[in-house]
Structure 1
Amino acid sequence: MLEKINSHIWGVGLISLLLITGIIYTFKLRFIQFRSFPYVLKSMKNGENKGQFRTVCMSLGTAMGTGNITGVASAISIGGAGAVMWMWISAFLGMATVYAENSLSAIYSDKKVRGTMAYIEKGLKSRHLAGFFAFCCLLASFGMGGMVQINTLSESVINCTGISPFFLAIILFSLIFLIICGGAKRIGTASQILLPFATVLYTILCIIAITKFRDRLPSVLSQIIKEAFGVKQAAGGISGYTLSKAVSAGIRRGVFSNEAGLGSSPILHSSSQNADCGVMQGMSSMLEVFIDTMLCCTLTALVILCASEDNTVRTAFFHVTGGKTDIFLAVIMSVFSLCTVIGWFYCGETAFRYFFKNSKAFFFAFVFSLTASLGAIFKAESIWTLSDIFNGLMAFPNLLALLMLIKHVKRE
């Protein structure tokens, strides 16, 4: 039943809405994707914006979870190599969408209401719709942001070390609780330390594997383009169903990876010391989508297509690291998962405060840490599906607000 509900939510309607919103903003903002990077890099070097890199790492850590590895492998398994091209297209359009999200957040946020809830409540003047978004965000933080990530982390660590799941859950509870009790600053600092290390390590391993099988690279790139637009299918007399699977899998996994359009990015960027600068937050978030999907997910896809016989990163890395593959993957998956967990905590806490403004954050931090750590003990198949459902439900009110408030983004 859950799978059926999920397939309806993430059907043609939502995928089309995500694409249409991205296309509209791409043209309205005059292809801002090509003009953002020099400004962002220059601004983050500026001493006045020294805290912006911390915000970028926290937001990027939320997006760069296990979806960058297992999600890409899943997309290729479902939709073939063509799904990679549609991940790129969704990321390109998503860069304009995420710029709009953060621009609106800067316009409407204040000390009482921040992020996506702010522009839905004040821009659309609908507290009920903002409450619906916050409710879905809260539940998604426990599921996709907590248990699912820790479940994936624990599988890698247990496979590598043989540690007891119960003992691992205690360690993870203590670690998560220690970090998130420090608030947005400590969460950002932890991401700032951990994420670059794991990203550089993962990038180096991917480049080595691709270089080792570089003779396959031209044919892989050709395969991605042909399968993305149905050239191979048409030549083989295959129906359009195969092409539709590539489109659906690529766009869904691309959105799951970079979260553009879901509304999580404005919540995270609302913690920045420059949160009132919509241009800065919008362009920084575009850089995050580019790094997440266009770089990291692309590396994963090329590694799988060039060097793996079973569509897994583990098999591809085995050609590089041999018997130490499980150790390297355990380290990388642990850091990516942990950064996602602590980033999603901030999203969940912000949604929690939307309903219970006078409640102390300590209670929510304890419950979140406990729930997330249980992912090391229990299986999370149903949690995956529920999380997908709530992620999809987050997107509907957010995209509605983006389309209704487009004139404010254009003016800003």
Structure 2
Amino acid sequence: MNKLNDILSLIDGYIGGSQWFVFLLLGTGIFFTIYLKFPQFRYLKHSIRIVRGKFDKEGDKGDTSHFQALTTALSGTVGTGNIAGVALAIHLGGPAALFWMLVTAALGMTTKFVEVTLSHKYRETAADGSIAGGPMYYMKNRLNLKWLAVIFAIATILSSFGTGNLPQINSISNSLFETFGINHMLTGGVLAVLLGFVIIGGIKRIASVTSRLVPIMALIYFVGAIAVIIYNYENIVPSLVSIFGDVFTGSAAAGGFLGGSIAFAFNRGVNRGLFSNEAGQGSAPIAHAAARAHEPVSEGLVALLEPFIDTIIICTITGLVLLSSGVWTEKMENTFQETDMVVLDGTYSEGNKEDVQQLHNYLVGKADLPLFTGTLNVTNGIIENQPTVLHARSVAEEIKVWMNDQPYTGKIEFDEGNIASGQGVTLTGKSLMHSAPLTTVAFTRSWFGDYGKYIVSIGLLMFAFSTAISWSYYGDRAVTYLWGSNKVIYYHIIYVIGFFLASFTDTTIIWTLSGITIALMTIPNLFGILSLAKEMKREVKSFWQEYANRFPDEKLPKG
């Protein structure tokens, strides 16, 4: 598993985790924001009116309403990115990472507006009578780049697993195990059956389910989060200061957190921001293509709301929960995942400033430290002459070694900082936490006490499950594009099986795979929408002319 994760991390480092990818994503958002004169601010009011049916025409072609398309797309974005992704970003880059998530969302509102408009314009009717759309259709029908459309469709299928399937059930099973002690495999089995039942019904059943789930889950999560923030009201201002104050300095070491660099906060914040709202990825246009609308820009305006709701509202609330509660710097009892652990050759103390600086440089990739290779003796679970163990990017404490749920006595072999394979031991101890378990702990720091973790578990269950439902549709449409609607059933079977298997698979590998698949979708989509910038501007102008003719008394945006 360690070797596989190392290979995936290397691949991700050249694409999704690279600086050029981040600049491409943000640069596209900046370009369209300026080119279209800040539509995310000027058109926001009209977006809400269109969702409510203001611009509808009798006879508009499509399978879903504007609201159903919005909730389906939101259910695809509001998921582990809002609960686990924010926690992971802060864990990696510190509070400043949240700032870059918000910047990504603000620019992403314009990007999503553009990609949905263009994809909706070139949608088609599939052989089974359903609406099929997405970036692959404008790539084929407008750009005449069938090879690029094929690449995007294949990437969509891969990303349906890497974004919408594997990390969602993995976070659900981890959260339910953490909260209720429910076996990972049992969680995966039950939810896999439910998933299969929903997705077989197609987009109409999916839209029906998600339009009910999204408002309910958002309300439950909001109540629990506000309770934490108000309970820790004295930390609200310091939390906001750390989000904006650390942007150009990097986050200093605090508690078990060994500090985050500016570059790390920027890269991880943008990366997790994209995972959260998917702006530019090309996924939401597939859901919006099914919406009943005669004018593509109207659906683009509906999509403009998604990053605002998903990231600017929900992710900000999650970030304030994590920061105001203080849990992001606290070491807690943990079962160590091997891919999240490394053993250093030597002893480093958090009480020594020089040691902390060395550890910080190592974690942000500025320097190397010698890794331990050799044998350690263990007596009744306690490691003798213990070197420094890093877990979850923190110095682990009170480490114990277990085998078959019993304290272990014997020897452990290490190779380049990792436990040699085939030894069957498990390490526990105190370290930082990240992803869904960290948010779960944060929600207990309010008047709800331990009951707060149930809010996260229920919210995560609904958030992540609805995301898996929506992404099955995205993969479904990609399969339809490549091989026809009669092959979709095979995709559904593999999708459900993968969903089950990921419930008990290592978290770190899944998150790394997710970063790769996101990039594989995003790059060709950004290339496509940038190529059609002039057409997008013409579409916007045409839309507002029609809007003015239908509603002559209404004040419209200038320009």
TM-score range, shorter chain: over 0.9
Indicate the residue corresponding to 2:351 in structure 1: none
CA distance 1:307–1:163, shift in 2 (3 Å)? closer
Contact residue 259 and residue 265 of structure 1 kept, 8 A: yes
Give the alignment partner of residue 156 of structure 2, picking from 129, 134, 137.
Answer: 137
- Displacement of 1:105: 0.8
Indicate the residue corresponding to 2:440 in structure 1: 314
**Over residues 293-338 of structure 1, what are the superposed CA-to-partner deviations in whole Å (9 max), with x where a residue is unaligned?**
0000000111111113335322321122222233222111100110
Indicate the residue corresponding to 2:65 in structure 1: 51
Q: The residue matched to 1:58 in structure 2 has which SS?
A: helix
Give the alignment partner of residue 2 of structure 1, picking from 8, 15, 31.
Answer: 8
With 337-346 and 320-329 compared, the bigger mean Cα shift is at 320-329
With 248-257 and 302-311 compared, the bigger mean Cα shift is at 302-311
- Displacement of 1:380: 4.5
**Over residues 198-235 of structure 1, what are the superposed CA-to-partner deviations in whole Å (9 max), with x where a residue is unaligned?**
111111111111112222222221222121133888xx
CA distance 1:324–1:36, shift in 2 (3 Å)? same
Where does 1:4-403 land on structure 2 (aligned, <5 Å)? 4-10=10-16, 11-46=18-53, 48=56, 51-112=65-126, 114-230=133-249, 242-274=261-293, 276-310=294-328, 312-320=438-446, 321-403=448-530
CA distance 1:231–1:160, shift in 2 (3 Å)? closer
Q: The residue matched to 1:176 in structure 2 has which SS?
A: helix
Amino acid across the alignment from 2:270: I
The structure, 1 or 2, with the larger RCO (C-alpha pairs under 8 Å, 6+ apart) is 1
CA distance in 2 between partners of 1:94 and 1:360 (Å): 33
With 206-215 and 285-294 compared, the bigger mean Cα shift is at 206-215
Name the structure with the higher strand share.
2
With 97-106 and 116-125 compared, the bigger mean Cα shift is at 116-125
CA distance in 2 between partners of 1:71 and 1:221 (Å): 19
Contact residue 139 and residue 387 of structure 1 kept, 8 A: no
Amino acid across the alignment from 2:443: F
CA distance in 2 between partners of 1:330 and 1:102 (Å): 32
CA distance 1:246–1:356, shift in 2 (3 Å)? same
Indicate the residue corresponding to 1:238 in structure 2: none
CA distance 1:226–1:108, shift in 2 (3 Å)? same
CA distance in 2 between partners of 1:199 and 1:351 (Å): 29
CA distance in 1 between partners of 2:38 and 2:445 (Å): 40
Q: TM-score, normalised by structure 1?
A: 0.93
Amino acid across the alignment from 1:29: L
Amino acid across the alignment from 1:277: E
Contact residue 91 and residue 328 of structure 2 kept, 8 A: no
Unaligned stretches of 5+ residues in structure 2: 1-6, 58-63, 127-131, 253-259, 330-437, 540-559
Indicate the residue corresponding to 1:236 in structure 2: none
Contact residue 308 and residue 315 of structure 1 kept, 8 A: no
CA distance in 1 between partners of 2:251 and 2:196 (Å): 51
CA distance in 2 between partners of 1:8 and 1:367 (Å): 29
Contact residue 141 and residue 345 of structure 1 kept, 8 A: yes
Q: CA RMSD in A?
A: 2.0
CA distance in 1 between partners of 2:439 and 2:485 (Å): 46
Contact residue 70 and residue 303 of structure 2 kept, 8 A: yes
Q: Which has the larger radius of gyration?
A: 2
- Displacement of 1:366: 2.5
Give the alignment partner of residue 411 of structure 1, picking from 523, 534, 538.
Answer: 538
Amino acid across the alignment from 2:456: L
Contact residue 93 and residue 251 of structure 2 kept, 8 A: no
Amino acid across the alignment from 1:110: E
CA distance 1:372–1:204, shift in 2 (3 Å)? same
CA distance 1:309–1:156, shift in 2 (3 Å)? closer
Question: How many positions carry a matched residue from both structures?
Answer: 405
Contact residue 81 and residue 227 of structure 1 kept, 8 A: yes
Contact residue 2 and residue 386 of structure 1 kept, 8 A: yes
Contact residue 97 and residue 266 of structure 2 kept, 8 A: yes
- Displacement of 1:154: 1.2
**Over residues 63-93 of structure 1, what are the superposed CA-to-partner deviations in whole Å (9 max), with x where a residue is unaligned?**
1111111111111122111111111111111
- Displacement of 1:5: 0.9
Contact residue 280 and residue 526 of structure 2 kept, 8 A: yes
CA distance 1:86–1:117, shift in 2 (3 Å)? same
CA distance in 2 between partners of 1:162 and 1:24 (Å): 48
